[in-house]
Amino acid sequence: MTVSTKGLSLMAGAAALLIVSAGVAAAGLQPVPRDAPVSFTAGQAEKGLVGYRTWCADCHGTDLDDGEFGGPPLKGAAFRARWFGRPAGALVGFMRDAMPPDAPGRLPPGSYVEIAAYLLDANGVPPGARELPAEMERLNRLRLEAPVTEAVKGGGNQAGALAKTPGLVPQP
């Protein structure tokens, strides 16, 4: 039996797809449907607070809107107007490409995702069971949505779920 070049190409493509699918399953990555609501874990937000204090608070402030060097507010109406309704990849990509201003992209890649989780938490988005992914393709499938809560209506939750964790809430 002879196999044509086209047949070999199809078989190779199918094998590659099977290998990639198996790798994704083995890594525990689940496909993210297009325009799914964003999800992050409380653990990511906690790590993000630590990263925020280390790399962001000087410019944006300990309360996310009172920085010594005049960074724009990262909570409340201004933040929600700029980022909610857009893909999570837009926020994380901007942070990676522009922050910190003196050396954009210098943070470890996971730190940008963790800081984004903290910012979402601080803006009243509740943490969930699924982590905010680090891969831009997956982030671009997640939609940033503002929850309808009193904290968001009132200008943003100071630290969302972290407000219940002593020692993790930004101090004025």
Single out the residue of 36, 53, 50, 49 nearest to residue 142, CA to CA. Answer: 36
- Over residues 144-154, mean pLDDT: 64
Q: Is the pLDDT of residue 143 over 90?
A: yes
Stated pTM of the model: 0.70
Helix, strand and coil in the chain, % to nearest 5? 50, 5, 50
Query: Tens digits of per-residue pLDDT, 35-93?
Result: 789 999 999 999 999 999 999 999 999 999 998 888 999 999 999 999 999 999 999 99
Query: Tens digits of per-residue pLDDT, 7-46?
Result: 444 444 444 333 333 343 334 444 555 678 999 999 999 9
For residues 134 and 95, is the Cβ–Cβ distance under 8 A? no
The conformation of residue 103, written as its DSSP 8-state character, comes to S
Q: Given this model, what pLDDT does residue 69 score?
A: 87
What residues pair up with 37 in beta bridges, in sequence order? 143
φ, ψ (nearest 5 deg) of residue 31: -60, 140
Q: Given this model, what pLDDT does residue 163 score?
A: 42
Structure token digits, residue 143: 């939609």
10-14, 112-116, 130-134, 146-150: which has the minimum mean pLDDT?
10-14
Q: Given this model, what pLDDT does residue 154 score?
A: 45
Q: Given this model, what pLDDT does residue 20 score?
A: 37
Hey, what amino acid is at 39? S
Cα separation, 91 vs 114, in Å, equals 12
124: left (phi over 0), alpha (psi -120 to 50) or beta: left
Q: Is the pLDDT of residue 121 over 60?
A: yes
Higher pLDDT, 109 or 168: 109
